[in-house]
Amino acid sequence: MDSLSEKFTKNITGAFGEAGVEWLKQLPTILTECAQRWSLTVKPHFSNLSYNYVAPVVQANGTEAILKVCVPSPEWHTEYNALCLYAGRGICRLLQADAAQGILLLESLKPGLMLASVTDDEQATSIAAQVMRRLWRPAPANHNFPTVATWSQGLDRLRETFAGGTGPFPVKLVEEAEHLFAELIPAMGEPTLLHGDLHHYNILTAERESWLAIDPKGVVGEPAYETGALLRNPFGIEKRPDLVQFTTRRIDQLATELNLERARIRGWNVAQAVLSVWWDYEDGGDSWQEGIRFAEQMAAVKE
């Protein structure tokens, strides 16, 4: 196994504590067992590891695949369950899995260029909308996926952290996000299984379909909620001098192509932008202050 970056090991130990430390110790053994069980040749891991060990592999028949090894957690199980339900429609196929050890063997998407490589934003937005339509399906009657309502409880933790206040977060911005979640959640349509993190780096070019998704979070909500992650990307968007106008055009395009209410796309975008900033702060990230400025601009988009 190749050496792991300091950032990756810190991410794992910071997020999972002693369980993460033990997982890192066992990782070489896990990889060896995967190679033996599924007759894989494991290649050097990808350079940008964050919270999962991900590496290209070659199967016995010469076909390339992706091996993803995670610290077993509720989030891992929702990804696994989402991949099972999607069954390769609009997303990479799940080839093998070990639910107990947090292991996924996934279809390798070729040529695998990210949506972020498409410089025409109208075209990129249209491609993302097409992928969304292929992915969405009614949520199972009995499921263990988190819901949009569950995710929104992050703002309750924000209030608890600051003794009912908002700390370094602008009061008006937090209050608007809270109001939007309270207004939008009860009025959601049919519960839909969403990807939950569908943006320019989780949509790749593929041979069997032009574009496919990877790395689903798996959350139940309404389709309009799905657009939030896309509207916060790609990286560097926050530096655009015309960000409000740019986002307005994107929202209009998504509303038209997906036949969704513009006001709900706009509302979810603002609410998620604030929630995303809080998650970054909660996880000890260093970009939450920039995120606040971005969220304020999202709130400036007219209803």
Q: What is the pTM of this model?
A: 0.95
For the question of residue 197 being annotated catalytic, the response is yes
Q: Which tens digit of pLDDT belongs to each residue from 232-278? A: 999 999 999 999 999 999 999 999 999 999 999 999 999 999 999 99
Structure tokens at 36: 């033996």
The angle formed by the CA atoms of residues 221, 149 and 100, to the nearest 5 degrees, is 80
- pLDDT of 6 over the 80 cut: yes
List domains and CATH numbers for the chain.
6-107 (3.30.200.20), 115-299 (3.90.1200.10)
- pLDDT of 101 over the 80 cut: yes
- pLDDT of 188 over the 90 cut: yes
- Give the span between the Cα atoms of 57 and 66, in whole angstroms: 6
Q: Which residues pair with 96 in a beta bridge?
A: 105
pLDDT at position 284:
79
Structure tokens at 224: 């309009």
Q: Which tens digit of pLDDT belongs to each residue from 17-75? A: 999 999 999 999 999 999 999 999 999 999 889 999 999 999 999 999 999 999 999 88
Cβ contact 217:196 at 8 Å:
yes
Q: Which residue from 142, 173, 187 is spatially nearest to 291, judged by alpha carbons?
A: 173
Active-site option among 2, 120, 156, 197: 197
Cβ contact 213:135 at 8 Å:
yes
Q: How confident is the model at residue 15 (pLDDT cuts 50, 70, 90)?
A: confident
